[in-house]
Structure 1
Amino acid sequence: MNKRKLGNSDLWVTELGLGCMSIGTEEKTAREIIETALDEGINYFDTADLYDFGENEKIVGAALKEVREKVFIATKVGNRWKSDRTGWSWDPSKSYIKEAVKQSLKRLNTDYIDLYQLHGGTIEDSIDETIEAFEELKSEGFIRYYGISSIRPNVIREYVKKSHLVSVMMQYSILDRRPEEEVLPMLHEHGISAVTRGPLAKGLLSDKMLEKVSQKGYQDYSQKELLDVLPALKDKLAADRSFTEIALQYNLAHPAVATVIAGASSPEQVRSNARSVRSQPLTEEEITIIKETSKAETYIEHR
């Protein structure tokens, strides 16, 4: 599988990463999914301390222990579970981040985290304090690099301006093109990579697309619009290939994107996604068709 450099780091990550949130807590099944990803050549694994109350990190750490030096583990911080586990609160403070990293390291059973990401954030946060925490963790050797997981352009802009982050994780797909206007160009200009999630738009951009359409629609698309747009895209683009290929290759076509994070709840989903990433890149003509057929939205609520 092809690899791309993650921002200005020395990490060369596979074009497909495994989003571990959906591997579940049944250890045998979860391990099979992770081992399938390794067999497919995937070297980037994304988790978070929030997933399954930390159990996800434990499973990921155990499954990758024997190949730790050959893979890159990304995890996240900032969401603090309540003691009764009924919900969580937001805490991007330096003191919390520096304590939480120790717990993540313990659960992952590793001495270092390759990429430590702030799991959200608003413009009201003490961004300087958060950056200071990450910089200290880096100098202390607990993390190699840091990034943020955010779809808020104003927050992203502050971190780009003030920090040494190497990546920004964000939702991006044919049905959610909001990053294209202001965020992806900014990241590319500053040598920062986008790590994209949600490339299949909850299955709407797969070969089961019409089965996944609900009355709620998706993003700025109504149910009726989806029932028009999805078949139109499939007719124009997917005569000889799966729509999963089209969807994943659309993300990879943008020069700011280093890796696409796709979740999987079975080994076969991992294999399908890997086949799609290894398929032919989109042509300029295909990209033009996608842009002419879908919406070019912008961020309105998330500022």
Structure 2
Amino acid sequence: MSKQSTEKISKVALGTGGPQVGVQGLGCMGMSEFYGETDEAQARDALDAALEAGVTLFDTADVYGRGANEEFLAPFVAAHRDEITLATKFAIVRSDDPHYRGIRNDRAYIREAVEASLRRLGVDVIDLYYMHRRDPEVPLAESVGAMAELVAEGKVKHLGLSEVTGAELREAHAVHPIAALQSEWSVFSRDVENTAVPAAAELGVAFVPYSPLGRGFLTGAFTNATKELSSNDFRQFMPRFTGENAERNAALLDPIHKVASAHGASLGQIALAWVHQQAEVHGLTVVPIPGTRKRSRVLENTAASRIRLSEEELALLEPIASQVVGPRYADMTFTSAGRE
């Protein structure tokens, strides 16, 4: 059961001085890899549905499909360039080893990465350019300084960071204004509330939660990745979704079921409504970017932006995150929580 609507979502400013965007964006990662087999025609229909629903922030990265996701988006971007805010990211480096992930934040790499993304996306300028992960060995002043050069040169309009601590956000913002901070934030994952969210609120930086649906787990789409998902689905390597952890975490969905039933909504819609309401709770702009490859899910997700949870319902969902077992990633080194 879920609510759906043809009404367009509202708009907000993406950070102080940032562009106006729909209050919900679309994460495009799964359209190219990570979540099992993809259907290109279905994914393109989902892009169209998102735009029709008022979604204007479309999020990709050079690491998704090793450039394939940016290339996939290029025709859509070309057809709707003036209607959308295009976000992409640099910093995660891959190799022929499918499990390898390296991080590069140095100036030379940033300049190389932006040129490659501009070429794949078929654009002259990127609206929002994120540093995808932080390499503590490279001074933030060097990385953000290099990103600021791209703004000065007209290759990038606004800067973003992903998975940084509050202290790192403040340090970066002092070098050049940061429009958005993208990190995992959901009713299951709330470590960002320690320092990152307060810093973003203080600085006027928008927060862009990725995985607001807990990579599908919060929708009830699966309960054990090992048993239910395909071998090319990377959730099989995430501690929360496998073995005993998955069983214990699935039981934590009970309060979400209760709230969903009261609203005639789906589990995912309640999870998204919770994220949207954190804007009021913490006093900052929040633009979640749930990912999907289906038109029906796009309409379901955007309708969630109009669901309002009561204080009692928020209180019912409040204890969930503290009971989750297993970290967000097997290796938390490259997350903000790993450096706090």
- State TM-score, norm by structure 2: 0.79
Partner of 1:295: 322
Q: Which amino acid aligns with 2:303?
A: R
How do 1:36-55 residues align onto structure 2 when only pairs under 5 Å count?
36-55=49-68
Alignment correspondent of 1:33? 46
Higher strand residue share:
1
- The residue number in structure 1 matching 2:204 is 191
Tell me the residue number matched to 1:272: 300
Measured in 2, the distance between the counterparts of 1:223 and 1:64 equals 38
Greater displacement, 267-276 / 139-148:
267-276
Instruction: Identify the match of residue 269 of structure 2 among 224, 231, 245.
Output: 245
| Structure 1 contact 8–191 (Cα < 8 Å) conserved | yes
Alpha-carbon distance, 1:228 to partner: 3.6
Shift of 1:287: 1.6
**94 and 205 in structure 1: CA distance in 2 versus 1, 3 angstrom threshold:** same
1:58 aligned onto 2:85: no
The 2-side partners of 1:232 and 1:259 are apart by: 24
Aligned-pair CA distance for 1:232: 3.2
1:46-102 deviation digits (Å, cap 9, x = unpaired) = 0011111211111112112121011000000112344x5754532211111112211
User: Distance in 2 between the 1:204 and 1:104 partners?
Assistant: 31
For residues 215-237 of structure 1, give each alpha carbon's deviation from its aligned partner in whole angstroms, at most 9, with x where no partner exists. 85359x94454244211332255
CA contact (8 A) 1:15 1:259 kept: yes
Alignment of 1:128-167 (within 5 A): 128-167=141-180
User: What letter corresponds to residue 16 of structure 2 in structure 1?
Assistant: N
Give the 3 Å change call, closer, same or farther, for CA 294–234 of structure 1 in structure 2. farther
Distance 1:94 1:27 in 2: 35
Residue 5 in structure 1 maps to residue 32 in structure 2 = no
SS at structure 2 position matched to 1:259: coil
Looking at structure 1, the residues matched to 68 and 337 of structure 2 have their Cα atoms a distance apart, in angstroms, of: 35
User: Are 1:234 and 2:261 counterparts?
Assistant: no
**Unmatched 5+ stretches in structure 1:** none
Give, in angstroms, the shift of residue 103 of structure 1: 1.3
Residues 198 and 151 of structure 1, relative CA distance in 2, 3 Å threshold: farther
2:258 partner amino acid: D
Equivalent pair of 2:13/2:285 in contact (CA under 8 Å): no
1:79 corresponds, among 76, 80, 92, to: 92
Match of 1:70 among 83, 89, 92: 83
Distance 1:292 1:70 in 2: 39
Work out whether residues 187 and 271 of structure 2, in 8 Å CA contact, stay in contact via their aligned partners in 1.
yes
1:212 aligned residue: 223
In structure 2, give the amino acid aligned to 1:238.
S
**C-alpha separation between the residues in 2 aligned to 1:175 and 1:23?**
24
Structure 2, gaps ≥5 residues long? 1-8, 33-37, 227-238, 328-335
Pairwise CA RMSD of aligned residues?
Answer: 2.6
State whether structure 2 residue 286 is matched by structure 1 residue 258.
Answer: yes
Partner Cα separation in structure 1 for residue 254 and residue 39 of structure 2: 37
In structure 2, how many angstroms separate the alpha carbons of the residues matched to 1:156 and 1:218?
A: 30
Partner of 2:35: none
Shift of 1:285: 2.5
Q: 1:120 to 1:60 in 2, by over 3 A?
A: same
SS at match of 1:195: strand
Q: Which amino acid aligns with 1:281?
A: R
Correspondence for 1:181: 194
Q: Number of paired residues?
A: 298
Q: Is 2:115 aligned against 1:92?
A: no
Does the 8 A contact of 2:145 with 2:175 survive in 1? no
Instruction: Please identify, of 264-273 and 163-172, the stretch whose mean Cα deviation from structure 2 is larger.
Output: 264-273
SS of residue paired to 1:282 = coil
CA distance in 2, matches of 1:250, 1:151: 22
CA displacement 1:1-53 (0-9 Å, x = unmatched): 11111111241111211111111375433322211211222111000111112
Question: Cα deviations across residues 241-296 of structure 1 (Å, max 9, x unaligned)?
Answer: 2221211111111222431101112222222212222x322222322221145428
Partner of 1:17: 25
**What is the letter of the counterpart of residue 53 of structure 1?**
R
- Does the residue aligned with 2:195 lie in a helix, a strand or coil? helix
Cα distance change on mapping 1:96 and 1:227 into 2, 3 Å: closer
- Which SS does the other structure have where 1:265 is aligned? coil
98-107 vs 280-289, which deviates more?
Answer: 280-289
Letter in 1 for 2:14: L
Matched, 1:201 2:228: no
